[in-house]
């Protein structure tokens, strides 16, 4: 029997990559790979240095797990990796950052896409 939810997830993933993504460069140390990523956000509550509750968010990059290859080896995101996004007049540099217990989670029920949590650290 065909898994209709899996079929739908595959279709949605391909549509997202085709119509709702942009090319970004994923860096680890001196190695990089250009991948298609869909931007997202994760909102969370935090506490500042004075003990006040603060609402904040991460910039998330949703990337196909099969596309994240460095030196032909499939990798999982790690804290400290960088993602560079070229804009019209600048390059934004994001650092993969831990959010609670992990710096990423799967974005779908079939583990086909990483949702990678980042923070903007620089503009070139």
Listed in order, strand segments (DSSP E) in 29-76 are 31-47, 53-64, 69-70, 73-74
Rounded to the nearest integer, the mean pLDDT of the chain is 90
Looking at residue 97, what DSSP letter applies?
Answer: -
For the entire predicted model, the pTM comes to 0.86
The whole-angstrom separation of Cα 58 and Cα 65 is 20
What pLDDT, on a 0 to 100 scale, did the predictor assign at position 9?
A: 82
Q: How many domains does the chain have?
A: 1
Tokens of 78: 């790690």
Looking at residue 102, what DSSP letter applies?
Answer: B
- At 20-49, the pLDDT tens digits run 889 999 999 999 999 999 999 988 888 888
Strand partners, 67: none
Chain-centre distance of CA 76, in angstroms?
11
What pLDDT, on a 0 to 100 scale, did the predictor assign at position 116?
A: 97
Domain assignment of residue 101, given as a range: 4-123
């Amino acid at each position: 029997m065909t898994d209709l939810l899996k079929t739908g997830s595959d279709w949605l993933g391909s549509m997202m990559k085709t119509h709702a993504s942009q090319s970004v460069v994923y860096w680890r140390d001196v190695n990089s790979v250009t991948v298609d990523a869909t931007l997202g956000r994760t909102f969370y509550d935090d506490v500042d240095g004075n003990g006040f509750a603060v609402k904040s968010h991460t910039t998330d990059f949703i990337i196909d797990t099969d596309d994240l290859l460095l030196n032909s080896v499939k990798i999982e995101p790690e804290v400290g990796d960088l993602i560079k996004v070229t804009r019209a007049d600048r390059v934004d540099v994001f650092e993969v950052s831990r959010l609670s217990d992990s710096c990423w989670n799967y974005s779908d029920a079939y583990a086909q896409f990483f949702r990678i949590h980042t923070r903007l650290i620089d503009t070139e």
